[in-house]
Amino acid sequence: MGVDRFSVAGTGEGRFFILFDSPKWLSAGNKVFFPMIEQIVILDFGSQYTQVIARRIRECNVYSVILRYDTPAAEIEKLHPKGIILSGGPSSVYSKDAPLPDQAIFDLGKPMLGICYGLQLMAQFLGGSVEQGQKREYGKGTLQVKEASSPLFAGLPATLQIWNSHGDKLTRLPKGFKSVAVSENSDFAAIGHSGRKMYGLQFHPEVAHTPQGREIISNFVHTICGCGKNWTMRNYVDIAVEQIREQVGKEKVILGLSGGVDSSVAAALIHKAVGDQLTCIFVNNGVLRDREADTVREVFGRHFQMKLQYEDSKKIFLDRLKGVTDPERKRKIIGRTFIEVFQAATKRAGKARFLAQGTLYPDVIESVPIAGNPAAMIKSHHNVGGLPKKMKFSLVEPLKCLFKDEVRELGVELGLPREMVYRQPFPGPGLAVRILGEVTPSRLTILRGADSIVVEEMKNSGFYYKIWQSFAVLLPIRSVGVMGDERTYDFTIAIRAVESQDGMTADWVKLPYELMEKLSSRIINEVKGVNRVCFDITSKPPGTIEWE
Ligand code: XMP
């Protein structure tokens, strides 16, 4: 196919740069593109569901990339996409600051699917009309498929449950388009121009509330765009290994291993690619859970035989945390001390040119700054900043085109234990944000005991892998109790169990009473220093997940 050496700047704001890297992958800013892989390009017009569209496509074993809505058509073409999706978005196509695509995308001859705002854009560009609807259509609806022969609805029943979220509606079809399906509120709930392979959906096929949306997306990518099923984590291992080898050459790579999913999978992948050129540094910061350090050493050191540099820095962290009760200060101390310890450790590891990081795709997708787009504001507030700039490393980030669920699959593919790959999130500042007030060795011992019981019982009951997080919090206030014939005056453990998609909002989980009873009695009987157990019934918002 021959991708020539090129370096092109695009978009009005000059933020989209494609720089040549190799015939097989391109990097643009901090993103990686694979023009050799069959893929679907999604133009993001600011919908909160854009990433969901990308994930649904990948679940169909087709690679997808998200680009800004105004990416020039010439740039898009360089990726040789098999199809283009125009996402939804909060704007109105007729408003003066509506985000508009490069008009030339409609002449690329690629199959296209417009979703919601995307449908309206496509229709408007191609000569149809869009008007403000009489009433906003939001929530569940029913779709009646009119054109049973439409490939978009192949294999699906004539009546489907769908999810709507739009105010404007299409009132006149562009030339050559037909109405393929109708809903209660619209004669043009799905439209299509089969000759040009252009389709539009007024509803959202990507959300779970459109139960057969996956089939619609699969029909688009497989039947209409003609994509195969090449995007699998097994295939990705080969692509990534080759890419890492090419990037790293004979140089050394350092990776900060936390035992969390992302750094663990990155370590396994890079190790597969460059073996002993990789050194993993594991810092024991003194606020880890029971056996956490042992597990990392067993899995990476003994099983994978990686070069693992274990930094036992418990003392320095705990010394600095002595007497500190303010949650922000605790976090800062842990963050700064980590950088210090890690920097010193990298020096001991020997001269390395590369630093590996487990950056994921959602961290590098540029959010579209459109007013009213909640996704634009949802940026992780944790662990931002990273290591100081003066640490002069080039970055190796082999997960930065992957979503979290793909990273997990990749981890399994690479032979990491399932418990590691599917474990619940654990905050960087560790148990320090789960002990209110001062962090002391004796309090850590109590919390570790309670935490182990929570993890064990949540696993036994099957809840551990079904929910976002479940853990114990130590409240260092004493209350009176009685145990046997003795009065006790001990601490309280709060149990938090939450369901969440991304940690930004969360609901508390209604655990069965029998499980709560077991947790409570085991913690009080087995953990010395605790005589009361509470269950946290606060959602986020207004509560946060961690108590700090
Ligand atoms: P909050 O407590 O803000 O937590 O509702 C949201 C999610 O983020 C995790 N969390 C952290 N993760 N470093 C991390 O890596 C941190 O400092 C940190 N603080 C909170 C928390 O466990 C939850 O999943």
> Residue 416 Cα, ligand 1 centroid: separation in angstroms?
24
Residue 294, token pair as written in the block: 């042992």
Ligand 1 and 114: CB distance under 6 A = no
* Out of 31-45, 341-355, 494-508, 516-530, least confident range: 31-45
pLDDT tens-digit readout, 362-391: 999 877 766 554 444 443 344 444 667 777
Q: What is the 217 CA–ligand 1 centroid distance (Å)?
A: 33
Q: What is the pLDDT of residue 24?
A: 65
Asked if 134 contacts 166 with a C-beta cutoff of 8 angstroms, the reply is: no
Q: Whose CA is nearest to atom 3 of ligand 1?
A: 544
Q: What is the dihedral of CA 310, 396, 415, 235, to 10 degrees?
A: -170
Pocket test for ligand 1, best of 426, 545, 548 (most atoms within 8 A of CB): 545
Q: Which residues are catalytic?
A: 116, 204, 206
Q: How far apart are CA 158 and CA 464, in angstroms?
A: 39
Q: Which atom of ligand 1 is nearest to the CA of 429?
A: 17
Q: Measuring CA to CA, which residue among 355, 433, 422, 423 is closest to residue 395?
A: 355
| Cis, bond preceding 542 (omega within 30 deg of 0) | yes
* Confidence label for 23 from pLDDT (cuts 50, 70 and 90): low
Q: Rounded distance, CA 225 to CA 111, Å?
A: 6
Question: Looking at per-residue confidence, does 193 or 502 come out higher?
Answer: 193
Tell me what the pLDDT averaged over the chain comes to: 91
- Band of the pLDDT at 479, cuts 50, 70, 90? very high
Question: For residue 328, with 0-12 CB atoms within 10 Å meaning exposed, 13-18 middle and 19 or more buried, which class applies?
Answer: exposed
- As a whole number of angstroms, the distance between CA 489 and CA 502 comes to 38
Question: CB neighbours of 345 closer than 8 A, spacing ≥ 6?
Answer: 281, 283, 309, 311
545 lines ligand 1 (CB under 6 A): yes
Only one residue has tokens 């007497």, namely: 323
CB 522 within 8 A of CB 457: yes
426 CA: nearest ligand 1 atom: 22
Mean pLDDT confidence for 341-362: 95
Residue 138 has a pLDDT of 80
CA of 308 to the centre of ligand 1 (A): 26
Going by C-alpha positions, the residue among 260, 364, 254, 266 that lies closest to residue 309 is 254
- Mean pLDDT in residue range 44-48: 95
User: Residue 199 pairs with which residues in a beta bridge?
Assistant: 113, 192
Q: Among 534, 435, 438, which residue's Cα sits nearest to residue 481?
A: 534
Q: How far apart are CA 411 and CA 381, in angstroms?
A: 26
Region 7-34: mean pLDDT is 50
What percent of the chain shows pLDDT beyond 90? 82
Residues 463, 505: contact at Cβ < 8 Å?
no
Q: What pLDDT score was predicted for residue 267?
A: 98
Amino acid at 364: V
Q: What does pTM read for this prediction?
A: 0.91
Give CA 351 to chain center in angstroms. Answer: 32
Query: Contact 191/182 with Cβ under 8 angstroms?
Result: no
Phi, psi of 346 (to 5 degrees): -65, -35
pLDDT of residue 12: 30
Radius of gyration of the chain (CA): 26
Domains of the chain in sequence order: 37-224 (3.40.50.880), 233-421 (3.40.50.620), 434-536 (3.30.300.10)
Write out the two tokens for 509.
Answer: 């989980």
Residue-wise DSSP of 364-419: HSPPP--TT-HHHH----SS-S-S-TTS--EEE-TTTT--HHHHHHHHHHTT--HH
201: three-class secondary structure by DSSP: strand
User: Residue 71: is its pLDDT beyond 70?
Assistant: yes
pLDDT, position 542: 95
C-beta 245 within 6 A of ligand 1 = no
Q: What angle do helix axes 261-274 and 233-248 make, rounded to 10 degrees?
A: 60
Mean pLDDT score, 46-64: 96
Q: Which run of H or E residues covers position 121?
A: helix 117-125
Distance 321 CA to ligand 1 centre (A): 19
Distance of CA 465 to the CA centre of its chain: 17
Q: Which of 128-137, 363-372, 477-486, 507-516 has the lowest mean pLDDT?
A: 363-372
For residues 250 and 225, is the Cβ–Cβ distance under 8 A?
Answer: no
Per-residue model confidence as pLDDT tens digits over 308-323 = 999 999 999 999 999 9
pLDDT band for 10, please (50, 70, 90 cuts): very low
Alpha-carbon distance 93 to 269, whole Å?
44
pLDDT tens profile 131-161: 886 677 788 999 999 998 999 999 999 999 9
Write the burial class of residue 249 (CB in 10 Å: 0-12 exposed, 13-18 middle, 19+ buried): exposed
Distance 244 CA to ligand 1 centre (A): 30
Q: Are strands 394-396 and 354-356 parallel, antiparallel or unpaired?
A: parallel
Residue 136 is predicted with a pLDDT of 73
Residue 506 CA, closest ligand 1 atom number: 5
- Tell me if 383 CB under 6 Å of ligand 1: yes
How many CA atoms are closer than 13 Å to the CA of 385, on its beta-carbon side? Answer: 9
Asked whether 425 lines ligand 1 (CB < 6 A), one says yes
pLDDT-based confidence at residue 521 (cuts at 50, 70, 90): very high
Tell me: pLDDT of 3 over 90.
Answer: no
279-291 pLDDT, tens digit each: 999 999 999 999 9
260 lines ligand 1 (CB under 6 A): no
The answer for residues whose C-beta is within 8 angstroms of residue 419's C-beta and 6 or more apart is none
| C-alpha span between 445 and 168 (Å, rounded) | 59
Query: Which of 355, 536, 359, 521 is CA-nearest to residue 436?
Result: 536
Tally the residues of the chain: 548
